[in-house]
Amino acid sequence: MKINKFSIKSKIAFWYIGLMISLAIIFLTTIIYISENLIRANAYKNLKNSVVSAFDEIEVYDGELTIDNDFIIFNNNVHLSVYNDETGFIYGDIPLDFEYDETFSDKNNVRIIRHKNKKWYIFDSKKNFQDYGIVHIRGITPATEVENIIETIVLISLIVLPFFLLFSAISGYFITKKAFKPIEKIREAAEKINEGNDLTQRINIGEGNDEIYTLANTFDTMFDRLQSSFEREAQFTSDVSHELRTPVSIIISECEYGLENLTSIENAKHTIFSVLDETKKMSKLISQLLTLSRMDRGNQKLNFDKINMSEMAHLIADSQLYNADSKNIKIHPEIEEDIFIIGDEMMIMRIFVNLISNAINYGRENGNIWIKLTQDKNFAICKIIDDGVGIEKENIPKIWGRFYQVESSRTTENLGLGLSMVKWIIEAHKGEIYVESEIGKGSSFIFKLKKEVK
């Protein structure tokens, strides 16, 4: 029978029972060892010494056995008695009502007998006295109270052990079952997600400090990220379809119109220009999507070099004047000179272009844009400020999402991908970006990039 067929709860219960059995065996073995090798050995030693030393008090004069007055018949809890081969018992002390035969042992070892539910140790020794013959001395001593207690403990343990193991098995199983309840919830949640594609399922076992609680909370965090990823993917698909539908519809309409109504070169040029314009929009969208895809996969290579950020800011500000003039927006550069960073020139340029073009798109007619570039000890600090429509506070976290646009910008050519790229570029340069905005008063995009280390 393979152990892999059992559940983890059953395996742990078996291991728990095995541990309890091992501990019980170790406990009983220790008790028996103490009884046999320490307490009993001491009793044996005392018994033998008492018997052997008793021979020193016995002498033979003219063929008669004489026992000295110093012979102690009860010494160190040992009852001593003297015998010979002819008459048997001669002298000594025998415990009351103690029944035993008078067959003496020649093995020089301690015998154990039980009498009236009490354990006794007996040791026999003999000596051949000249002109008299063989004399036997028998020592009898009861087992110590400590040894009796240990025997009682061992006996009780052997009786209680099966019940203890049964209780351990039951309690171990229920404790394991309770401990693994969060894992069961993890399994149930995973099955529900797998069966019904319901990413809203969570384990929700609450707070805890042990590993299982940490695992469950980690799974909840993972499910949150999975749900967010799937929602972003669904939104991404919807937004791409929306963005591509308009130019494709225009291209189809222009082609159909051209096929049916083209009567002059001028009409043909107008139709072709419309198709070209919409095709460029689609090409720009596809190009940005490919760039974002490379960024997501970590395949977007960055070529780091020394960049004069001040010159770049002036250059981009000048290049955006034409777009700003279409809404009569004035651009005000406030740029500190000779600020250098290490970065990818094309990517840093894209940051400026996207942020300034966003400021123009969301700026009001006859408005203003300020481009401020300063530095502190470690960072180049840039602020792109406009006095346009502003962003609602609850929508600020959403602006970094792909295709997100405020409703008022749906009529512009903004694809809603620029800020996603800006955030990725800045984070790839170990920088940071944040937004301050107020509805009706405008927005400020502030980003920081590490300066060149001299």
In sequence order, what are the residues at sequence separation of 6 or more whose Cβ sits closer than 8 angstroms to the Cβ of residue 161?
24
In sequence order, what are the residues at sequence separation of 6 or more whose Cβ sits closer than 8 angstroms to the Cβ of residue 12?
172, 176
Same domain, 319 and 403: yes
Please check the confidence at residue 448 and state whether its pLDDT lies above 90.
yes
Q: Is residue 172 in some structural domain? A: no
Q: Which one is predicted more confidently, 332 or 93?
A: 332
Same domain, 110 and 232: no
User: Model-level pTM?
Assistant: 0.46
Same domain, 340 and 409: yes
Same domain, 86 and 216: no
Q: Is residue 446 in some structural domain? A: yes
Please check the confidence at residue 344 and state whether its pLDDT lies above 50.
yes
Q: Which residue, of 297, 315, 335, is where some domain finishes?
A: 297
pLDDT tens for 62-100 read 778 888 877 888 878 888 888 887 768 888 887 766 666
Q: Is residue 195 in some structural domain? A: no
With cut-offs at 50, 70 and 90, classify the pLDDT of residue 37.
Answer: low
Q: Is residue 90 in some structural domain? A: yes
Same domain, 369 and 431: yes
Q: Is residue 192 in some structural domain? A: no
Distance CA 229, CA 190 (A): 17
Please check the confidence at residue 404 and state whether its pLDDT lies above 60.
no
Cα→Cα distances 388→352, 369, 422, 435, 443, Å: 18, 9, 20, 14, 7
Tell me the CATH number at 270: 1.10.287.130
Helix (H, G, I), strand (E, B) or coil at 449: strand
Q: Which residue, of 277, 297, 317, is where some domain finishes?
A: 297
Q: Is residue 264 in some structural domain? A: yes
pLDDT tens for 192-244 read 766 766 667 776 766 667 676 777 777 778 877 777 777 666 666 655 665 56
Number of structural domains (the chain) is 3
Q: Which residue, of 112, 136, 154, is where some domain finishes?
A: 154
Q: Which residue has the tokens 């272009």?
A: 353
Quick one: pLDDT at residue 383? 94
Same domain, 239 and 261: yes
Domain that holds residue 83: 9-154
Same domain, 292 and 318: no
Q: Is residue 198 in some structural domain? A: no
Quick one: pLDDT at residue 197? 63
Same domain, 218 and 275: yes
Q: Is residue 200 in some structural domain? A: no
With cut-offs at 50, 70 and 90, classify the pLDDT of residue 412.
Answer: very low
pLDDT tens for 290-330 read 665 665 556 567 788 899 999 999 998 998 898 899 899 99
Quick one: pLDDT at residue 290? 64
Q: Which of 99-103, 117-121, 151-155 has the highest mean pLDDT?
A: 117-121
Same domain, 252 and 272: yes
Quick one: pLDDT at residue 187? 75
